Structure 1
């Protein structure tokens, strides 16, 4: 909006207002007097441009984006805490029940017991919200003494912790709501309900999937993979907890809603490449994995066709790759069509 208001333009305009009889060359008294003011005014225009962009959802960020989309009822998802199953045993290997709210450390992170699952098995929750609580499996150390406890193990991640929703993800949900007819429990409404839950990146609704009065909602997490069972269950409880059409959740009376994770379809890649001097097959494999993963994320619930040529382009765009041959995608040299409700994910990559 104010791109033309640069230091040079402002200073020239100011100097033009000085009588011609005055020395206006760089280094002159009047030049040196006006230049600092021109710098400050140029900075002011930069700030004005930034502030103008912060008023609109497509260019806003942070709290300004929150405020720009608030009128639509969309709010940013807060960070959530990871939940794990953990086992506790005595020196004879027998299960030990620990007190609820007991705290355990991995050295870097602290978890607390919030629910008993069965004898010696408890649900532990990270004390710190965010994805960092997902990163450890193994031995736990009790922070306070617990009689009879010899070993404590963090076993399985049940509900992944999620970081605060990103600006892009928030804006995407906002765009979905304002650009699609979300109303009266149509299929877009079900997708919006699903995406209101932490850990859900995308959702796809399938009306009448099992006959009249049935709706299936398939989910993806923020990495465009099938989400953890805990997230699927949370969405089920939010939309239709009883699955009897009684309208006990967000869904109205009538439809029976089934929430599932998307079926993952692995994409395996084999290719022969000619490499630039000093490059390694391992390094190229890593770059292919990064590029193809990004491509597959773009396709998730948006385009059912995995194109052989796009994967070939990813390989050719890697600087160390001079040329390639015998590119096989899932054993063939053709496009792959992904079924509705499924998602293509990277499988194995073999470079020779």
Structure 2
């Protein structure tokens, strides 16, 4: 409904008997004009209220509130990546809050106080939440502020556990999924909903009685659609069946022994000969191809009905990447056929080699 001020006012004046003077400056005109303005304002409020009844029109906190009130679902917040640093050279005291970073400027800070010498390790946490903190091994080597006695540090393993906040679209899709697949407290959808409520969980598959009678295997991948780390697995286990014995201490009903596992990664490597567009750079195009292939693999990873990685789709992704005019001889894991996936496997991008 959308009303116009003049039309509202005219309708009001038409409802008044013609024996009254209804022109500008007379009481009938002035009083109805004021009421028309109030009705127009109320119409705007009604239109806003109507829009808020449709979850597709909501964003941010309004979306959070609507979904929580209707389904009890909360947005999954962003999490911070963590890592372990090793003192490579020197010895000294490192206080909680001491900064370390990568060459690209991804910052971490020490989470504990301690005195360390060469070979000792200590925990650090990403300064900013999100996937940006999941840096590779050997990259956290800079100290923005010098630490007396400590000359060099490094991370021998990648930083993990950083996940972006659930987007509006992702939260809305989880809401729709919950509507389409009701959670009765013990069916497969219940276990899926519990697992997905944990920040960092991307997708879930349930395998009833996989480990024997009265057992449930909850197989998860993380938000990057890769194998979940031990910390994320433990968080989901703690929520669903913390003692892993079906005692009902978690969300799972008494008698249901739930075990949380993660998928096995299947590396998908690709090589091809490409024809570059004019002025395109091979290095830049290769990175763009990697990004697009990663997006495709994340799209199909652990998705319902996915049983293979399509050779044709991979070829299409490479060909459609900006800067690629044509490609030939695409090899995927050394061949030119689809790559099969079992129920507990998830595809991740491996080595990508492009030549001209």
Is the structural similarity TM-score above 0.5? Answer: yes
Q: Which runs of 5+ in 2 are unaligned?
A: 8-42
In structure 2, relative to structure 1, the CA distance for the partners of 1:52 and 1:271 (3 Å cut) is farther
SS of the aligned residue for 2:191 comes to helix
Match of 1:328 among 323, 328, 331: 331
In structure 2, relative to structure 1, the CA distance for the partners of 1:277 and 1:234 (3 Å cut) is same
CA distance in 2, matches of 1:154, 1:172: 40
CA distance in 2, matches of 1:319, 1:169: 27
Cα contact 1:159–1:229 (8 A) shared by 2: no
Q: By how many angstroms is 1:129 displaced?
A: 4.0
SS of the aligned residue for 1:242 comes to coil
Cα contact 2:163–2:200 (8 A) shared by 1: yes
Cα contact 1:103–1:144 (8 A) shared by 2: no
Q: By how many angstroms is 1:200 displaced?
A: 1.0
Q: Which residue of 2 aligns with 1:239?
A: 240
Aligned residues: 304
Q: Which residue of 2 aligns with 1:61?
A: 59
CA distance in 2, matches of 1:167, 1:256: 34
Q: Which residue of 2 aligns with 1:21?
A: none
Residue 345 (1) aligns with residue 345 (2): no
SS of the aligned residue for 1:160 comes to coil
SS of the aligned residue for 1:169 comes to helix
CA distance in 2, matches of 1:256, 1:152: 47
Q: How does 1:231-310 map to 2 (within 5 A)?
A: 231-302=232-303, 303-310=306-313
Q: Which of 205-214 and 46-55 deviates more? A: 46-55
Q: By how many angstroms is 1:80 displaced?
A: 2.8
Q: Which residue of 2 aligns with 1:27?
A: none
CA distance in 1, matches of 2:171, 2:324: 37
Scaled by the length of structure 2, the TM-score of the pair is 0.72
CA distance in 1, matches of 2:281, 2:145: 45
Cα contact 2:108–2:124 (8 A) shared by 1: no
Please list the CA deviations of residues 162-221 of structure 1 after superposition, one character each: whole Å capped at 9, or x if unmatched: 333211221122122111132232122111111111111211111111221222222222
CA distance in 2, matches of 1:249, 1:223: 26
Q: Which residue of 1 aligns with 2:198?
A: 197
Cα contact 1:82–1:157 (8 A) shared by 2: no
Q: Which residue of 1 aligns with 2:188?
A: 187
Cα contact 1:55–1:64 (8 A) shared by 2: no
Q: Which of 158-167 and 231-240 deviates more? A: 158-167
Q: Which of 266-275 and 334-343 deviates more? A: 266-275
CA distance in 1, matches of 2:111, 2:276: 53
SS of the aligned residue for 1:69 comes to helix
CA distance in 1, matches of 2:287, 2:159: 29
Q: By how many angstroms is 1:280 displaced?
A: 3.9
CA RMSD in angstroms comes to: 3.6
Cα contact 1:84–1:154 (8 A) shared by 2: no
Cα contact 2:93–2:113 (8 A) shared by 1: no
Q: Which residue of 1 aligns with 2:230?
A: 229
Cα contact 1:54–1:61 (8 A) shared by 2: no
Please list the CA deviations of residues 16-54 of structure 1 after superposition, one character each: whole Å capped at 9, or x if unmatched: xxxxxxxxxxxxxxxxxxxxxxxxxxxxx9999887555
Q: Which runs of 5+ in 1 are unaligned?
A: 14-44
CA distance in 2, matches of 1:65, 1:240: 30
Cα contact 1:110–1:127 (8 A) shared by 2: yes
Cα contact 2:266–2:347 (8 A) shared by 1: yes
Cα contact 1:269–1:327 (8 A) shared by 2: yes
Q: By how many angstroms is 1:72 displaced?
A: 0.3
CA distance in 2, matches of 1:301, 1:293: 14
In structure 2, relative to structure 1, the CA distance for the partners of 1:126 and 1:289 (3 Å cut) is closer
In structure 2, relative to structure 1, the CA distance for the partners of 1:141 and 1:326 (3 Å cut) is closer
Please list the CA deviations of residues 240-261 of structure 1 after superposition, one character each: whole Å capped at 9, or x if unmatched: 2211222222212222222122
Scaled by the length of structure 1, the TM-score of the pair is 0.72
Cα contact 2:183–2:190 (8 A) shared by 1: yes
Q: By how many angstroms is 1:348 displaced?
A: 1.6
CA distance in 2, matches of 1:309, 1:59: 37
SS of the aligned residue for 2:236 comes to helix
Cα contact 2:133–2:159 (8 A) shared by 1: no
Please list the CA deviations of residues 269-293 of structure 1 after superposition, one character each: whole Å capped at 9, or x if unmatched: 1222233333343333223222222
In structure 2, relative to structure 1, the CA distance for the partners of 1:97 and 1:350 (3 Å cut) is same
